[in-house]
Structure 1
Amino acid sequence: MAISDSTIQEIKNRIDIVEVISDFVSLKKVGSNYRALSPFTNEKSPSFYVSPSKDIFKCFSSGKGGDAIAFIMEVEGINYIESLKYLANKYGIEVQEEEQTDEQITAQNERDSLFIALKYAGEFFQDTLWNHSEGKSIGLSYFKERGFSEATIKKFDLGYSLDAWDGLMKPALGKGYSEEILEKAGLILKSENKTYDRFRGRVMFPIHNVGGKVIAFGARTLRKDKKQPKYINSPETGVYHKSDIVYGIHQARQAIRNEDLCYLVEGYTDVISMHQSGVQNVVSSSGTSLTKEQIHLIGRYTKNITVLYDGDAAGIKASFRGIDLILEHDLDVHAVVFPEGEDPDSFSRSMSSEAFQQFLKDNAQDFITFKTNILTEGGKNIDPVKKVAVIRDVVESISLIPDGIKRSVYLKSCADLLEIDEQVLISELNKILIKNRKKDRQHEERESSAVDEQLADSLQSKQEEQSGNTPFYVEKECLRMIINYANEPFDEHQKIGEFILHETADLKFDDVLINETISMASGFIKAGKKVEPDMFIGPSNPKMSQLVIDLLDMKYFISDGWEELHRISTSHEKEDLPTATYKVILRLKRKKIEEMLHHNEELLKKSSEANEQDELLQMIKQLKTLFDQVTTELGIVVSK
């Protein structure tokens, strides 16, 4: 099904791009625009800008840009239709859908095909769990033995894969899914002489992306066969990158926002049991080491993470790197340790929901107390040599915190806890910071330089465009003026867009994409419509979208001091738009005359007919006169 044009227009009319993007990043007002750290890269200097007047965003560190719909597609990893549905839900708009044509269905790309196949597999595994004798007797019985209610099982779309080589593959092929897509989705495996299901005889845990689409599966065997791994997971695919996602984020994200806290556990069943106990702001790293991408994902919804551990001290020590990574990304971290032999799943099932939630609140320790207790095994009277090692270890973690005030607070806490002079810790911290800064300086300079160069190049490109040195740049300038100022008055009779189109009506734009975009703008203007950037931005023509985004007047995004820093001056064309527009047209005409001159001179060199030569000489003379007139009007000094 496709969303109707009227619904799409209503969504676009209701969108507030600042409001939409603020759900994911912390925007700071800079002039008439907004700035933030990029949600797409792990940058340290903000290069992500939002222009509410133009309804677009631009990320200089990643090159991404577009409208609010494009932002949701990028940040949530979903397609255009799902992005529209997300925004419709946000603004309470009823979605009217239309049947897709055969051509539209055929045009679905591989990514969409993977999502469709994975959705089918998820529904198939659920149906097997509830309606197949094997699924009910083995899979459903197992989940109920774990204490999961039917509502909880359905909430997480749990399922069961038949203990057969083609339990999924055979019906999927019968439904028209190709072996190629099923393999690319990680659902089947191929050997030299056999093709078969990846998941067989296992309870199934679908893994959803933030938008709720099934992107992969975790599968647990119920056999006592030691040759079989207890859990197997989907491989990396075009829609699933395990380092980027946490299990349960779709079900938990609203609760995480509401509570301003995320509980982080290890396994699928930990997440599910906690939900059933009334704790919904919980996700799992699914047994893998915590990654910066997963922390970045959680950080969209809260800056507070509480890591839940079972009583295994060795396992806790092994996970310290995850805590350090959380601190490094400027999130606040606490920890809760369960009694020996217990984990979040078993412990949550051993008591009432109220008692479990109270336990989490009462036993949350800041990372200093937690790490010190683990490293000293809960005692203060430890061997001096070991105490030195513990202090250094804790101070190393504190050094990773970007915020200086937070570091100071934690240092004082550490000094009190380990009964050591705070000044000694400050001295040790400074040594570590100096060492780390030396190590990181080159990397930071490279990163900062890359952003600076992008912005400086953008300004330099603007100068090159205005100089009219190449046909591409002068054509691009015409389009830039239309995109940014088409609706502004040129004089009392016409607007700038109308003036440019009238003056270029007899000219041919050599660049195909520029020509296509100007033709589209011409259609809007002739129809009496106001030209807006978002008219050219959308999934149907990504190249045009990127061109228009790049041409939007980005110089107003650049902070004060850029011109002085890079010794590049920008023309403030808005002070006199009619003059700036007229000069753009003159530069375009000058370049076109220059091309015609060159073309006729080449023809003259090849001509052997006297009459033809006379005509060409006459044409060249006229063109030179025109060229000189335009050059003089532009105020360009040409050396003879």
Structure 2
Amino acid sequence: MLIPKEVIEDIIQKSDIVSIISERVTLSKKGRNYWGLCPFHQDSNASMSVSPEKKFFKCFSCQVSGTALDFIKDFDNISFQDAIKKLSSLINYDLTKYQSNIPQQQNKDAILYKLNEEALAFFKLNLRSNEAKPAVKYLHSRDITNEDIQFFEIGYLSKTNSLVDHLLNKGFNISDIVDAGLGSYNEERNKLYDIFQDRILFPIRNENKELIGFSGRIIETGSDRPKYLNTKETKVFSKRKIAYNFSEAIKSARIKKEIIILEGYMDVISMHKNGINNTIALMGTALSQYHVNLFKTIKGTVKMFLDGDEPGIKGNIEAAQTLISSNQKVLIVNNPTNNDPDELIKQGRKAEVEQMITNATNPLEYIIYKRWNKVDPKDFNSVEEFMKEVCTFVINCNNQILYETSIDKLEKVTNLSKESIIDFYKKHTRSRTMTFTNSNQEVKEKVIEPKPKQEKENNQNFNVLSSLKAYELAGKTILFDLIKSNKNLELIKEKIREVNFPHKKFGKLISQIINSYDENINCSEVEIKEMLAKHSTPENLEEIAWYENDPLMVHKKTNVDSTKLIENSFEKLKMYSNEKKIIEINEMLKAKNLSKADRENLMNILSDRIKKREEWLSIFNDKNN
């Protein structure tokens, strides 16, 4: 559905932004505007202002801003098109005349989503049939009520009702049904067969609520059939991208600033029934970079809560390693039992589960606690195996603070000297490539060395807040990285709205490159540069070329972690945005007609901004001492 820009603007102007936001966030009127806690960061000071006159909202703390359309898209975690549909529906705006404006070659993904939705409707209808009574009885035996069945859209496919026949009768073709993973075709018999026959079906949606596939469970015992059967890999369904219940959990997770990662969908259903709504399930898959990027939209803590058995412990450790190496805050829920969360709740141990979640520990303490319990301190080989596992975990996390903390922890647990532990790290990492930066200098050793506390470099502290060039360099670094590849595209898209660019033209160019990648994710460096040549001034192109070819620039080093470089660049731009905001608030405070309530709000926000400045300065000075 292609909707003209002027129509979208008309929808925004006709919407009541205060009414729309107040359905999701509590607002109170102060002066001419409305104020509330910002749902996009951990706000405790009502930093978000909503202007009914300007039809605009803005958080003066995290910088998120936009129209009612932007708010619905981000808060409800839906696509831009779905946000337009939802907003137009709220104000009874007729979009039917634009629905025929569809490209001739219909998107393959859309066909698969439509097939899955039709299949789900069929599964849900089947669950209400007489043949489904054993399935319903099984669900009730697992303490899944009719309300749960409705909320989680659970369905069933009997032995006699054929989904593939139903889909063919609906006009879908055999090729698409097979591509969707809903049927298999036997060429010799020229017949299409059902995949999920005689199974309870749990639908799996992506972060945009699009139905990507199913997980089917048998109800009989002692069967030779696989207990669980998921949709095969399709154009829209990938095992490494399963995050069951994310589209529902994100609402609660954003408010709590915390998302809990479970193993199976039964765990999610049990937790939901007991008021714990910020949970998702990996469903037996390893945590991937896709999940990391997804969790970063929460802007909070990830709590790993896999089963208490050995595979669960191993999964917790591996997931924590992935998250830490991606600079995502993570804690692990220590489950001392051999039961999963679903079993614990059914045993009447809900309070115990809640206490486990509250007492979630940092990953280093978790791995040491879990592994040291099995060590014989008198057995050299046993201690060495323990050291290898912990050191491998720390090394793979690629985190300086974690490394230095681990030395102290290991010294206390093993009674080994710090020198022996450091030496063990060195020997254990000779075959590895580990690079860390300390005071912007590359560490040449392939193992992290603790920074001597008594030694200080002669370099003077560099105050970033006084250097516009540092900010401009950060913007150029992000621009150049996008020109070279799409490796950090998702990271940049996530963080770009949080900052301002001193060189506004570069900020616009970055947005244009992002749009190019959105249109074609495989866009080459040559194509990106051709696009830039059309939209840039000769001076800008000359500046980009100079930056690209300067051999002294940090991006020229082959062993530099580009992701860390981009994250550091955004941190510098956050400092710049913070300073701009301090100046802006100071100017606003000069207004004579400012109400007392608005002045108090601005003073509180200004105080927070100044604290952030001090924190950043402290961190930066620490890095350069």
Q: TM-score, normalised by structure 2?
A: 0.58
Within 5 Å, which residues of 2 pair with 1:103-118? 103-104=100-101, 107=104, 108-118=106-116
Separation of aligned partners in 2, 1:248 and 1:200: 24
1:219 aligns with 2:216: yes
The aligned counterpart of 1:47 is none
The answer for unaligned runs of 5 or more in structure 1 is 16-21, 27-50, 56-67, 442-447, 458-483, 485-531, 569-640
Q: How does 1:180-579 map to 2 (within 5 A)?
A: 180-192=175-187, 193=189, 194-302=191-299, 304-313=301-310, 316-317=313-314, 320-351=317-348, 353-362=350-359, 364-377=360-373, 381-429=377-425, 435-437=431-433, 455=483, 551-553=534-536, 563=546, 566=549
Amino acid paired to 1:398: V
What secondary structure is seen at the aligned counterpart in 1 of 2:253?
A: helix
Aligned partners of 1:262 and 1:302 also within 8 Å? no
Distance in 1 separating the partners of 2:358 and 2:300: 17
Determine which of 168, 177, 197 is the counterpart of 2:163.
168
Measured after TM superposition, the shift of residue 146 of structure 1 is 1.0
Q: Which amino acid is 2:211 matched to?
A: V
Q: Residue 175 of structure 2 aligns to which amino acid in structure 1? A: E
Give per-residue Cα distances to partners, 1:584-622, cap 9 Å, x unaligned.
Answer: xxxxxxxxxxxxxxxxxxxxxxxxxxxxxxxxxxxxxxx
Shift of 1:427: 4.1
Q: Name the aligned partner's letter for residue 270 of structure 2.
A: S
Asked if the contact 1:310–1:338 (Cα under 8 Å) also holds between the matched residues in 2, the reply is yes
Structure 1 419/263 Cα, relative in aligned 2: closer, same or farther at 3 Å?
farther
Give distance in 2, aligned partners of 1:116 and 1:225: 35
Secondary structure of the structure 1 residue equivalent to 2:121:
helix
Contact 1:263 1:283 in 2 (8 A): yes
Amino acid at match of 2:96: E
In 1: Cα distance, 2:79 partner to 2:543 partner: 37
Deviation for aligned residue 1:145: 1.4
- Conserved in 2, the CA contact under 8 Å of 1:277 and 1:352? no
User: Hey, what's the Cα distance between the residues in 2 that align with 1:354 and 1:254?
Assistant: 23
Distance 2:539 2:390 in 1: 45
Aligned to 1:120: 118
> Structure 1 residues 4, 163: CA separation in 2 closer, same or farther (over 3 Å shift)?
farther
Contact 1:256-1:262 at 8 Å conserved across structures: yes
Matched position secondary structure for 1:223: coil
Q: Per the alignment, in what secondary structure is the counterpart of residue 437 of structure 1?
A: coil
User: Cα–Cα, structure 1 residues 537 and 248, in superposed 2: closer, same or farther, change >3 Å?
Assistant: same
Deviation for aligned residue 1:336: 2.8
- TM alignment of 1:54-65, pairs within 5 A: none
1:407 alignment partner, SS class: helix
Change beyond 3 A, Cα 1:188–1:384: same
Tell me the SS of whatever aligns to 1:263: strand
Deviation at 1:318, TM superposition (A): 6.5
| Cα distance in 1, alignment partners of residues 257 and 130 from structure 2 | 43
The answer to whether the 8 Å contact 1:289/1:322 transfers is: yes
Given the superposition, is the C-alpha separation of residues 81 and 564 from structure 1 closer, same or farther in structure 2, using an over 3 Å criterion? closer
DSSP-derived class of the 1:177 partner: coil
1:332 corresponds to which letter in structure 2?
K
Equivalent residue number for residue 44 of structure 1? none
Q: Contact 1:310/1:339 (CA < 8 Å) preserved in 2?
A: no
TM-align CA RMSD:
4.9
- Output the CA distance in 1 between the equivalents of 2:550 and 2:321: 41
* TM superposition shift of 1:182: 1.6
User: Number of paired residues?
Assistant: 437
Aligned mates of 1:218, 1:105 — CA distance in 2:
32
Report if the CA contact (8 A) 1:333-1:366 is conserved: yes
Query: 2:542 and 2:425 mapped to 1: Cα distance?
Result: 34
The answer on whether the counterparts of 1:4 and 1:98 sit within 8 Å (CA) in structure 2 is no
SS of match in other structure, 1:200: coil
Counterpart for residue 151 of structure 1: 147
The CA distance in 2 between the partners of 1:415 and 1:159, in whole Å, is 54
Letter in 2 for 1:254: K
Distance 1:344 1:99, change over 3 A: same
Q: Specify whether residues 225 and 24 from structure 1 end up closer, same or farther in structure 2 by C-alpha distance, changes over 3 A only.
A: farther
1:256–1:302 contact (8 Å) kept in structure 2: no
Paired with 2:336 and 2:550, the residues of 1 have a C-alpha distance of 64
Distance 1:384 1:371, change over 3 A: same
Which secondary structure does the structure 2 equivalent of 1:365 belong to?
A: coil
**Cα contact 1:310–1:337 (8 A) shared by 2:** no
Kindly state the Cα deviation for residue 245 of structure 1 after the two structures are TM-superposed.
2.8
* Corresponding residue number in structure 1 for 2:8: 8
Equivalent position SS for 2:229: strand
Partner of 2:173: 178
Structure 2 residue matching 1:254: 3-state secondary structure? helix
* Residue 479 of structure 1: aligned partner: none
**Worse-matched range after superposition: 198-207 or 315-324:** 315-324
Q: 1:453 to 1:212 in 2, by over 3 A?
A: closer
C-alpha distance in structure 1 between counterparts of 2:517 and 2:433, whole Å: 43
Residue by residue over 1:317-353, the C-alpha shift from the partner in whole angstroms, topping out at 9 and shown as x without a partner, is 4764333323322233333343544111111222265
Amino acid at match of 1:321: E
CA distance in 2, matches of 1:553, 1:12: 31
Q: 1:265 to 1:286 in 2, by over 3 A?
A: same
Structure 2: any 5+ residue segments left out of the alignment? 18-37, 43-62, 437-441, 443-475, 486-504, 506-510, 552-625
Contact 2:11 2:93 in 1 (8 A): no
Provide the residue aligned with 1:82 in structure 2. 82
Q: Is contact 1:327–1:400 with CA below 8 Å preserved after alignment?
A: no
Shift of 1:219: 0.3
Q: Which amino acid in the other structure matches residue 375 of structure 1?
A: R
Q: 1:488 is matched with which residue?
A: none
Give the Å deviation of 1:438: 6.5
Q: Distance in 2 between matches of 1:387 and 1:261?
A: 35
After TM superposition, the score normalised by the length of structure 1 is 0.57
Distance 1:305 1:52, change over 3 A: closer
Which letter does structure 2 place at the counterpart of 1:566? N
Q: Conserved in 2, the CA contact under 8 Å of 1:324 and 1:400? A: yes
Percent of aligned positions with the same letter in both sequences? 21
- Aligned in 2, Cα 1:183/1:281: closer, same or farther, shift over 3 Å? same
Residue type at the aligned position of 1:311: G
Contact 1:330 1:401 in 2 (8 A): no
Corresponding residue SS for 1:255: helix
Secondary structure class of the residue paired with 1:215: strand
Distance 1:301 1:171, change over 3 A: same
Distance 1:449 1:81, change over 3 A: closer
In structure 1, C-alpha distance between the alignment counterparts of 2:142 and 2:374, rounded to whole Å: 33
